[in-house]
């Protein structure tokens, strides 16, 4: 069975949901504190997937994700590099994305170079908590279902991806490392609130050159069941809505994009397909099962 670590640290607060998402996708997931891995780094050898979940590690003091990133740099850098080089999978969600960038795993252009991009304060100057549409971009990223625009929640104050200079951005772009971009429901780019933080090129997520390490600001673990969708009671099911058992037609359908998740069965409703966030975990587990 595929085994996954969900990294814990002071201030991480999405670890339980992330463990649940991995288990729904068929992995045996275990939440392990970073101090335990520092004490026994050989633990990493037992696992195929490492996820750094969302939250506010160490209170986001100094900068979001910086202290946890420093712990990893000074105590686990070699082991984490070995983990990736052995073909294994790493996912960073929100604070975890910030950590991966500030460790250099996603923040470098050259393998032995310096950090050349970061994630900083939202242009709005405040915490943004909303649902956003994401368009997949990278063809190499193993977490992505190609051609599927997804809808996920964000919750962050520091989500703006910025680069040291234009050359760094162009290198990341030409290397097919932009995993997701913020778009509207029709796939169009735009300013706030479509791009909720002012991120360069509407970047919502990045991957490494292998496609097996990805970080993203939105939270896929918060949408692994259809009923977690904010409008699930108003979504169309063969011309009807879910409200009042699918009999209330007073609410206008929101379109056909979500109909693939629903099927009418003898006047009732059966949820089929997968919520958008679930696909990211499914793809990671499927890849690990096939390749590791």
Catalytic residues: 94, 219, 221
For 113, phi then psi, to 5°, come to: -85, -175
Output helix, strand, coil percentages for the chain, rounded to the nearest 5.
Answer: 35, 25, 40
3-class secondary-structure state, position 181: strand
Environment class of 257 (CB within 10 Å of its CB; exposed 0-12, middle 13-18, buried 19+): middle
Cα–chain center distance at 136: 12
**Integer-rounded Cα radius of gyration of the chain:** 19
Identify each DSSP E strand in the chain by its residue range: 3-8, 28-33, 49-52, 89-93, 117-120, 128-136, 150-156, 160-163, 178-183, 203-207, 213-216, 236-237, 240-241, 262-265, 268-271
Q: Which residues contact 230 (CB under 8 A, 6 or more apart)?
A: 131
The tokens describing 192, both together, are: 């706030």
Total residue count of the chain as it appears in this document: 292
> Burial letters for 212-231: b for 16+ Cβ neighbours within 10 Å, e otherwise?
bbbbbbbbbbbbbbbeebee
240, 234 in Cβ contact below 8 A?
no
**Eight-class DSSP state of 80:** H
């Amino acid at each position: 069975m595929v085994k996954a670590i969900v990294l814990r640290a002071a201030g991480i607060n999405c670890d339980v949901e992330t463990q649940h998402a991995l288990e729904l996708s068929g992995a045996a997931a275990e939440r392990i504190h970073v101090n335990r891995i520092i004490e026994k780094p050989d633990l990493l050898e037992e696992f195929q997937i490492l996820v750094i979940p969302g939250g506010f590690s160490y209170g986001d003091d100094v900068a979001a994700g910086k202290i946890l990133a420093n712990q990893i740099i000074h105590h686990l850098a070699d082991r984490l590099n070995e983990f990736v080089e052995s073909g294994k999978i790493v996912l960073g969600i929100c604070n975890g994305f910030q950590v991966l960038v500030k460790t250099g795993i996603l923040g470098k252009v050259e393998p032995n170079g310096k950090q050349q991009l970061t994630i900083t304060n939202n242009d709005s100057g405040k915490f943004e908590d909303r649902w956003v549409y994401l368009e997949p971009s990278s063809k190499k990223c193993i977490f992505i279902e190609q051609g599927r625009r997804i809808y996920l929640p964000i919750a962050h104050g520091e989500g703006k991806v910025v680069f040291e200079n234009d050359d760094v951005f162009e290198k990341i772009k030409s290397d097919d490392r932009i995993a997701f971009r913020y778009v509207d429901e029709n796939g169009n780019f735009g300013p706030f609130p479509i791009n909720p933080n002012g991120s360069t090129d509407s970047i919502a997520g990045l991957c490494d050159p292998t496609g097996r390490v990805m970080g993203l600001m939105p939270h896929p673990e918060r949408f692994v069941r259809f009923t977690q969708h904010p409008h699930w009671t108003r979504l169309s099911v063969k011309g009807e809505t879910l409200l009042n058992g699918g009999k209330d037609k007073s609410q206008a359908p929101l379109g056909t994009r979500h109909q693939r998740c629903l099927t009418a069965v003898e006047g009732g409703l059966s949820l089929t397909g997968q919520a958008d966030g679930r696909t990211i975990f499914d793809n990671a587990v499927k890849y690990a099962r096939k390749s590791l």
